[in-house]
Structure formats: C-alpha cells, structure tokens
Amino acid sequence: MINTVQGQIKDDALGVTYIHEHLYVYPDALPEHEDYTLDNLDKNVSEAISFKNAGGSTLVDLTPINYGRSPMLLRKIAQAANVNIICVTGFHKEQFQPKWLAAMSDQALYQFLVNEIDNGIGADHILPGAMKLGTSLNEITQAESRLIDVEGQVQRDTHIPIITHCDGGTMGLEQLQGLKKAGADLTHVCLSHVDLAEDVDYIERICDTGASVSFDHIGRHLEDHDALRVSMIAQLIADGFADHICLAGDMGRKKYLIAYGGQPGLRYILTDLKTAILDKISESDYQKMITSNPARILVR
C-alpha cells in the first residue's frame, strides 16, 4: 500500500507517476522566491488536469517541511483534478531548514519524523508517502549529515521511501554512503537532480548501490527536446540500468507551468518528450521509468 493525500492505494493503482514535482509551494515572501511560489489553486488544478489528460495518474509533491508544504491543499488539488498526489515528510538542504531543527536532539527529531509517518501531518493527519532530505552544492554540511543519519534510521525502522535533493546533481554517492551506514534500504531511495551532473558513469555508480535516480530536469532544453538527457538515458538503459531510472520534471516554478504562462508543463514528458525518446529506447523501457520503477521505490 502507498499513502496519498486522499488515503492509501495499492501500488498497482499508481499508474503513470512523476516521482519529483511540486503542486503547491509557498516558500516565503522573499522576492527571489516569487517564481517558486505556486499558490494559485485554480492554476495548480489546471496544470494537474493537463497531466491527467495526457495519461498521468500520480504526482509526488516533494515540497518539504519549512518550504511551504501544505498537504491539506494538495488534497484539494487531488480531488479537483482526479489525480493521486503523494506528500512528504522530511527536510531540504540546510539553507531551507527551519531554525528550530538545530535545537532538537537526534532522538527528538527521530520521533518527530516517525510521528508524521505513523500519525499523519497536521490536524487532518494526512500520511506522507515518502521522506525528503537534501544536501548543498558540492558539500554536505554538518546539519545535513545529521539529517542523513537520522532519516536513514527512520527509513530503517518505518520502511518509508526516501527521495533526496542533490544540489546541482552533486553528493549523491556521499548521501548513499551515509544512508547505508544508518541502516537504510537503498532499493527504496531515489536521488533527484543527478542528471544535472551530465555524467553517465557517476549515475551508473549510484545505481550500482541499488538506489535509483530521477531524471527530473527534463523540459529545460526544448529546442532539441532534451537531446542530451535522452542520450544519457539511452546509454544507461543499454548498460543495463533500465530498472533504476525515473522520469519527472521538478517543475516547481511558474516559468515551467503552462497554467502560469510558462512551458513546457507537466504534460511534456507524456507528449513531446515521449516522441523524442522513443526514437532511442523501447516503449517498455519508457513505461518502466514512469510506472513500475516509481511504484517499486514507493511501496513500503
């Protein structure tokens, strides 16, 4: 079973799944984060409907604690658009961590996360379907290292999947080393943004650990339909890593969403990108990346 904001569903009900998206975000009122602020419910519903109409079923919203997470509003979007939405517990990289986090003991932090996983978030007790952690560009700070250790223990004990933020695609192997040391099951860990490193060998070393990766900076090079990422994916599949790749857009900015006047929108992976990628890989491998691979990672 998998937790969504509307309740539990079976893994075979997930359907086409993007493992890293953002459907509602209100990080703060800073001008530099205005483009990241997705707080118009009508537009958010419209974008989710466009995903649904293109054949999509499930969106994992990776908006974490202290970055404008709102499971209750995600539930409203899910109901209005008739899609599955999965919310998360956990935290971002240090830049976006709440100040109160540093004052908590490791045990208190562990219990805080387990409580959200077991009893739900907020007054509505909405159960998260995954847990997020993040690290900084080219480094793992002391605060981030602590979270890797605690969240690894939480995953060991609750079996909740972990989806991480690798800033600029960096520090993926180091994240996995810390999680494994803490007892986490790496087969239920997915590293986001590693496609930004544009290094197939690096990604293959990540997959060799048993973990999976999210190609989620799709839709940034529309002039050639993401030819470089399509080529990287084709190489990974040819090398035997088809079972470790997920597709998403991480389209948590107005400039990426059609409903906000941007492009390419959530439907892109199921429309234009699909046309381009099927010139390089099989339909069955494409379907793995958007159906069976996310389901395998997300099931507990």
Q: From the first residue on, what is the mean pLDDT of each consecutive set of 10 residues in the chain (300 residues)?
A: 96 96 93 95 98 98 96 98 98 96 97 98 96 98 98 98 98 98 98 98 98 97 96 98 98 98 98 96 98 97
CATH of the domain at 15: 3.20.20.140
Kindly state whether residue 52 falls inside one of the protein's structural domains. yes
Question: Residue 67 contacts by C-beta under 8 Å, 6 or more apart in sequence?
Answer: 25, 27, 92, 96
Kindly state whether residue 63 falls inside one of the protein's structural domains. yes
Q: Helix and strand tally (H, E) in the chain?
A: 10, 11
Kindly state whether residue 190 falls inside one of the protein's structural domains. no
Question: Residue 207 contacts by C-beta under 8 Å, 6 or more apart in sequence?
Answer: 213, 236, 241, 244
Kindly state whether residue 154 falls inside one of the protein's structural domains. no
Question: Residue 176 contacts by C-beta under 8 Å, 6 or more apart in sequence?
Answer: 186, 189, 191, 206, 209, 211
pTM score: 0.97
Residue ranges making up the domain that contains 291: 2-130+202-298
Measured between alpha carbons, how far is residue 203 from residues 62, 93, 132, 210, 214 in Å? Answer: 21, 21, 20, 12, 10
Residue 73: strand, helix, or coil = helix
Phi, psi (5° rounding) for residue 270? -95, 0
pLDDT at 29: 84
Kindly state whether residue 161 falls inside one of the protein's structural domains. no
- For the chain, the domain total comes to 1
Kindly state whether residue 29 falls inside one of the protein's structural domains. yes
Kindly state whether residue 116 falls inside one of the protein's structural domains. yes
Kindly state whether residue 151 falls inside one of the protein's structural domains. no
